[in-house]
Structure 1
């Protein structure tokens, strides 16, 4: 074993630098005085698709909206991931929603008043049947959490008084490949240390979807394996597929039906041999409460951006835990800010199954200095203040693009 003064052996995880000791700021005196949005073009490593369409295209920059919230000289960062193929928010709508609606609702408010900010958000952009601009709201909410952690000099788990694990296993995503192409993707994931796989289905016909899952199982016979349909099926087709997935040892069937098909999801949950996991159906903790009352959910997916940020996500996770509903973790192909926010949430609730935080698989985060360490398919929860990601604002500005510029 190396002595404390010796460098770690090659290939060892890079430790998160400890927080610089500083006198904690008096949170009661922090008032939000500025919110800035930056649409940044990040390098894309691989193409990625879901049943609704493309999420990332190799060779084409991936747009992420970074948000900086400032309060009396302290600041924090958050992120929104516009994916029109998955939800209705675009890069343009996120920027205008934050700049023109959420910012006026938050400026001048105490930075610590996360509950009050959430209520102010609902007055600015009403929930309606859904949560109302969850990605935009999430970016500001996460930035406020980062700000509070930085103001006090502690990571989010310490701020919350809740962290049950220091590491989380990441699943490797298989999406878009034909059954014949799956082997290369699985081999790449295994080579990088991943030991669990999530397969996007609903991209082909039923027979091909099942054949892709079967191919993954063939190449990773002992790996935990779950699938995500992103609302692609009807009750009848989902039930046919679930019976075949059960034979392949699939552990969860994520969002097989449209998000608002509550009767269908209840029926499928009663009949499916594979546990039904809900993602797009759970925009707000109140949605989960409805599914619990109707006995229409086996597994609740925790997803920071989908639920409007960490404030509501913590409520959703606590409700699932208190109700005996199994929790799984997922993200939105986030860059490192979103990755860190999810890790803090999932670590707080001790999610003990592999999670779908696939940003590192599909894009780079050149704006991040000291940041999340991922080693052999395992992510280490950051130990720095706030999110634990150091943002180089100069790089953010260099990568910024104008998504609101007029087009012919």
Structure 2
């Protein structure tokens, strides 16, 4: 172990709720994720150890999961931070165990977004202390670039045409469509419009965010197959293991799991029950990079295909995901859509994205230079009492 790393002990964990600019509106089957003209709240976390620091991010989306901006701040400040102060920064296994003692697991994992922000910040700190990017720290980096899919935000054929054209003009060659927002006929029409306006042969996959029942999902799968869709992401509720097994047995389109895979042990269950075709790697959903690496390695060892996704992250989350996906060589287009919907004015130097392709950062840690003065300017008090 590098001598400089072995002596690092966590001294301070700080949270900053920041209001970031929203470029365009975005919704999932559970509700709104971002609203144009209204700031998007992200929780940035700074971990300090012996003069070195690292940054992480949490994305509160109550329409997608139970963690809110308020709960993430209080979980970190009152439970996670006290549990790890004084712990060796390099001992990520001990940090993970301390997290589980502080906020225990429910069905699969407790408070994954809050835990992820601290875990990612520790990875950034360790990379900066060693002077290397995360891939070097891990000894694992199989790709230098990652192709980004464009998320189609329109929910009518006309809006879809405009969104696909915008994505194509920005250099994107693959498209992701959110469905489950309407009835089955309208959902199908939206996907058909994407297929119509996308370049011939462009990969298109859909994400229902748990919106369907088994019968409805089977009907949709048959329609999606006719449209040449490459994957059907999270069609059923996360804990409907029996339903997902039934669907996988009959679906002509590969079934990909996202919300179902909070913890690596969840993937182990779905593999044993033959209820998964594709595993979605998502840093925040899985409690950070430590558990995400375990999940990706398990998928790889079990022969389960990996795809990549994010949580409308700003640039810190974008960089963390790129390092993870590059480490495991994910070569299909990924859903890292933060740049499409929000800005990251706190990032002085960050990820380069050109023509729909992101370059994995080469700078130490995550490779994102955070201007703390801007973070403090953007900070808001999410715990302020409301009348």
Q: Distance in 1 between matches of 2:227 and 2:154?
A: 19
Which runs of 5 or more residues in structure 2 are unaligned?
none
- Tell me what 1:390 maps to: 369
Separation in 1, partners of 2:263, 2:192? 34
Match of 2:11 in 1: 33
1:41-80 Cα deviation digits (max 9, x unpaired): 0000000000000000000000000000000100000000
1:146 corresponds to = 124
Please report how far the alpha carbon of residue 130 of structure 1 lies from its aligned counterpart in structure 2 after TM superposition: 2.7
What residue is the counterpart of 1:357 in the other structure?
A: 336
Conserved? CA contact 1:176–1:203, under 8 Å = no
SS at match of 1:173: strand
Verify the 8 A CA contact 2:154 2:160 in the aligned structure 1: no
Equivalent of residue 404 in structure 1, options 379, 383, 387 = 383
How far has the Cα of 1:177 moved from its partner? 1.9
Deviation track 1:95-141 (CA, whole Å, cap 9, x = no partner) reads 00000000010100000000010010000000121300000000000
1:180 maps to what in 2? 158
Deviation at 1:180, TM superposition (A): 2.4
State how many pairs are aligned.
385
Deviation at 1:166, TM superposition (A): 0.3
- Looking at structure 1, the residues matched to 76 and 117 of structure 2 have their Cα atoms a distance apart, in angstroms, of 9
TM-superposed deviation, 1:25 = 6.1
Alpha-carbon distance in 2 for matches of 1:218, 1:137 = 41
Instruction: Give the distance between the partners of 1:175 and 1:272, measured in 2 at CA.
Output: 26
Q: Is the 8 A contact 1:138 1:304 kept in 2?
A: yes
How far apart are the structure 1 equivalents of 2:23 and 2:268? 38
1:95 aligns with 2:95: no
User: In the alignment, is the contact (CA less than 8 A) between 2:154 and 2:163 conserved in 1?
Assistant: no
Tell me if 1:232 matches 2:232: no
| 1:366 maps to which of 339, 342, 345 | 345
Aligned counterparts of 2:328 and 2:120: Cα–Cα separation in 1: 17
Structure 1 segment 14-25 matched on structure 2, within 5 A: none
Check if 1:263 corresponds to 2:263: no
CA shift digits 1:247-274 (9 cap, x unpaired): 1100000000000000000000000000
Contact 2:54/2:122, CA 8 A, preserved across alignment: yes
Q: How far apart, in 1, do the equivalents of 2:59 and 2:196 lie?
A: 33
Secondary structure, aligned partner of 1:181: helix
C-alpha RMSD of the superposition: 0.7
